Structure 1
Amino acid sequence: MRLPFIKYDYQKYLTELPKIAQSVDHYQVLHTPVEYREMLLHHIKNATRRLYIVALYLERDEAGQEILQAIYDAKKTNPNLDVKIFVDWHRAQRGRMGEGNAQTNVQFYHQMKVNYPNLNVEIYGVPVNRREVLGVLHLKGSIIDDTVLYTGASINNVYLHKLEKYRYDRYHMMTNPILADSMIDYINNNFLVFDGVERLDCLEQKTRKQLKSKIRTLRYHLTQADYQFNGQATNNELALTPIAGLGKGNKLNHVIHHLICSASEKVTFCTPYFNLPPIIIKDIIRQLRKGKKIEIIVGDKTANDFFIPEDQPFNIIGGLPYLYEINLRNFVEKLQNFVDKELLIIRLWKDNDHSYHLKGIWIDDNWALITGNNINPRAWRLDLENGILVHDPNSELHDKFSKELQVIRENTLLVNHFQQIQASQFYPKPIQKLINRLSRIRIDKIIKRLL
């Protein structure tokens, strides 16, 4: 039987990963969705060679129209610009959750193509699995020339704070030719060469049934795929490692696990949905028992993008934030003694009626993970995820990362006792009925694995 890892093994795993040297002057952290939207538009306008956008979806609302129009304008200005957009195949062909399919993103993409028949802006749908509930394109990172703009945000009004409401995320910008090339190569080598990845700006779309075998082939390939690059950086300099992952036991999951277990003093991580994989809960408890500090910044249930106010029509999807809150309350109650010792720090993020979508990990002052991974069972097994691991042995990014965390914490409430978190008996009646019904048939566990 294999003995458990000791701390050195976790560190060794991380230090042996290939790394790309990064200049601190070419690493920027933005703090608001408006800053990110403006920076994205700036880089689109000034693109000279290549413009690749990767997101779960590019919506047909005001923000989506602004971004796609800017992309078409850039292509018009520079006809030789290599332009490709990748979104989830399933998500693009339906309306928003709870809405019909009368106005889909596919129709939006096609209309833009009709408006500009002489411009070739390629928009592709990536089907990670046969059904959306079983896996989506959750890969992040837009590459414009040699700059990577990395965020967990998709492209619509709320993610880019185009109108009144915003959904808070992380926004990192790295200018690095090797990193940019590796992310471009991943897309070209693992998406474009497979028949299951098809253009979405065409009026006629193949059905899921027609693509069934091609999707299966694509998914199998993606479970084996990762970024390829010539990693020459040493462990004594600021460096980056792009990592992709799909399916149980993938490389990104291993990196997250090893990061948490490698901490000498403190782990800080963010997740919008408190639904941690069992292995991460075990890692946290093990580190707490060793006297390490664990800070978890999670969205209040009202800051969850699935939350439905009581004055609006009830929908079953609105029960998810309450299921996540029950998870959190049980977790804090179980570990209340570590909260009392100020080893476990729980912060709830809330800013009026805005929503929270942050994810990522900070380890001591020398490791960080920029990722779209929600650190939940769905991300762990079903979705195509990625991240950029930052190794900062000389703390060159300390001020930028500290500022980022300071801004994140500004709208948080410190939880000192599990009773600060609302108990389920005080939930709205429709939510109580839903949770009781789900619990009786044990379907709540299945739902939390899928959403």
Structure 2
Amino acid sequence: MPSLFKRSLLPKLRSFPLTADAVGILSGAAQFRRCLLEKIASATRRIYIVALYLQQDEAGQEILDALHAAKLARPELDVVVVVDWLRAQRGLIGAGKQPGNSAWYQEMTRTHESVVPIYGVPVQTRELFGVLHLKGFVIDDCVIYSGASLNNVYLHKFDKYRYDRYHVLHNRELADSMQHLVQHGLVASKAVHRLDLPNLPTTRSLRNDIGDLRSRLKHAAYDTTRGTTDRTGLSVSPLLGVGKNNPLNRVICELIASAQQQLTICTPYFNLPLAIIREINRALARGVKIDIVVGDKTANDFYIPPSEPFRVISALPYLYEISLRRFAKRHQRNIDSGQLNLHLWLDGDNTYHLKGMWIDRRYTLLTGNNLNPRAFRLDLENALLIDDPYGEWLEPRRQELAEIFQHTRRIEHFQNLETLAEYPMGVAKFLKRVSRVRIERLLYRIL
């Protein structure tokens, strides 16, 4: 069954040429933290940090201290931090009422001689309906790209880590393009305000400006005018997307539709959009071998052990497992034949946050996109697509996949996954209730 998806964007994408030695892969969260701190300390022109959040904890303090030290040592350094507006003004889920990270940002600006401006970007008027989910740190002509935010677990500050992907790309044109979007597409907006200064405007008062920003972002794109459409070697294309049928979503679907031999997908929350499910089904029909790597439910960042009091958020990992079990049941024949391989990642009590795709021996997608309905409709997302038509970058790519698969086990049968009857009492009771009132489908769309 051939794909019905029109492949119109991939050939038109403008990209920046790369050399194989200009793209490095870091082996883990601790190395990611060390690399980030080293790059900040040695920066000479610019530091642009974009993340969902910069958390007030030991690792977050280490990053913010490093930024202040760099700015103090070189006042001419252009330092900008961009985080989600709403996420920065609330506490941790389940931790009670807290002032949020913005209070910490303000204290740091008040008590330091140097100034590191921290901007909050409101993608929507409510966090539930969309957040800033852009990734990428621009330091001079280097781009450090990861799906990770900045806190103890993402940066492996202590015993536990949250596993992600970590790439370092040395390319001035790419760095310029990513900085330009932050500077002119985000920070310049009337909806965007500094979180490190007191007397923040209310989100309600920004409602019209937020609507204008979201409308503009739906038509925004990275500046690739210095790029090329020639596919003469290794290259990278930055992609941006927010809302339904955006260019990033379309490229993701086109990539799956282009697969002929091998497709590998990583997602931490197994809740694939219908468009991706359809393309996976078509890929299976044309004989493509597919590997999908997800986290075991106990490796989900929302997982709460049954020994702790039940909270609604703790039901999410079980919802994702239910979705995975249904998918496995529908495709058991493909699993039996070895054409479809579903892998669960688990490494002690660490958590799993990988996203991205590997298509045949050519394309590699780096992204913070969770490949779920929320990412496809609500959040502001980005990605870097590496195109390797002549196999210049195959060995580092192979090594990254080998490291990912190191802590996985293959699901041999859908019955290997637990059912509702085996879930903790609080989780089972809640899931039965939402199923009865038919809001399960809504939950899958927004979580």
Query: Is residue 2:80 matched to residue 1:84?
Result: yes
Query: Is residue 2:295 matched to residue 1:299?
Result: yes
User: What does the per-residue CA deviation read over 1:156-190, in whole Å, with 9 as the maximum and x for residues that have no partner?
Assistant: 00000001111000000001000000001111111
Structure 2 counterpart of 1:161: 156
Q: For 1:403-414, what aligned pairs fall within 5 Å after superposition?
A: 403-414=399-410
Structure 2 counterpart of 1:110: 106
Amino acid at match of 1:17: L
Following superposition, the deviation at residue 442 of structure 1 comes to 1.1
Aligned mate of 2:39, from 43, 55, 58: 43
Which runs of 5 or more structure 1 residues have no equivalent in the other structure?
Answer: none
Q: Tell me how large the CA RMSD over aligned residues is.
A: 1.3
Following superposition, the deviation at residue 232 of structure 1 comes to 2.4
Query: Is residue 2:29 matched to residue 1:33?
Result: yes
Aligned mate of 2:312, from 295, 302, 316: 316
Q: For 1:137-176, what aligned pairs fall within 5 Å after superposition?
A: 137-176=132-171
TM-score scaled to structure 1, two decimals? 0.97
- Spell out structure 1 runs of 4+ moving beyond 4 A: 3-7
Give the conservation status (yes or no) of the 8 Å contact 2:242–2:381. yes
Following superposition, the deviation at residue 151 of structure 1 comes to 0.2
Greater shift after overlay, 231-240 or 56-65? 231-240
Query: Is residue 2:207 matched to residue 1:212?
Result: yes
Amino acid at match of 2:334: F
Aligned mate of 1:184, from 154, 179, 182: 179
In 2, Cα distance between equivalents of 1:379 and 1:313: 29
In 1, Cα distance between equivalents of 2:63 and 2:175: 21
Following superposition, the deviation at residue 193 of structure 1 comes to 1.7
Give the conservation status (yes or no) of the 8 Å contact 1:21–1:233. no
In 1, Cα distance between equivalents of 2:9 and 2:190: 36
The alignment of Structure 1 onto Structure 2 pairs a total of residues equal to 446
User: What does the per-residue CA deviation read over 1:309-361, in whole Å, with 9 as the maximum and x for residues that have no partner?
Assistant: 01111100000100000000010001000001111010000111110000000
SS of alignment partner, residue 191 of structure 1: helix
In 2, Cα distance between equivalents of 1:289 and 1:312: 44
Q: For 1:51-62, what aligned pairs fall within 5 Å after superposition?
A: 51-62=47-58
Give the conservation status (yes or no) of the 8 Å contact 2:53–2:84. yes
In 1, Cα distance between equivalents of 2:231 and 2:333: 37
SS of alignment partner, residue 86 of structure 2: helix
Aligned mate of 1:364, from 335, 344, 360: 360
SS of alignment partner, residue 401 of structure 1: helix
Following superposition, the deviation at residue 4 of structure 1 comes to 7.7
Structure 1 counterpart of 2:17: 21
Structure 1 counterpart of 2:332: 336
TM-score scaled to structure 2, two decimals? 0.98
Following superposition, the deviation at residue 103 of structure 1 comes to 4.0
Amino acid at match of 2:355: K
Structure 1 counterpart of 2:68: 72
User: What does the per-residue CA deviation read over 1:5-43, in whole Å, with 9 as the maximum and x for residues that have no partner?
Assistant: 568x53x64132111101111110112000000000000
In 2, Cα distance between equivalents of 1:72 and 1:101: 28
Query: Is residue 2:437 matched to residue 1:441?
Result: yes
Which runs of 5 or more structure 2 residues have no equivalent in the other structure?
Answer: none
Amino acid at match of 2:11: T
In 2, Cα distance between equivalents of 1:379 and 1:157: 24
Structure 1 counterpart of 2:59: 63
In 2, Cα distance between equivalents of 1:278 and 1:340: 24
In 2, Cα distance between equivalents of 1:17 and 1:401: 22
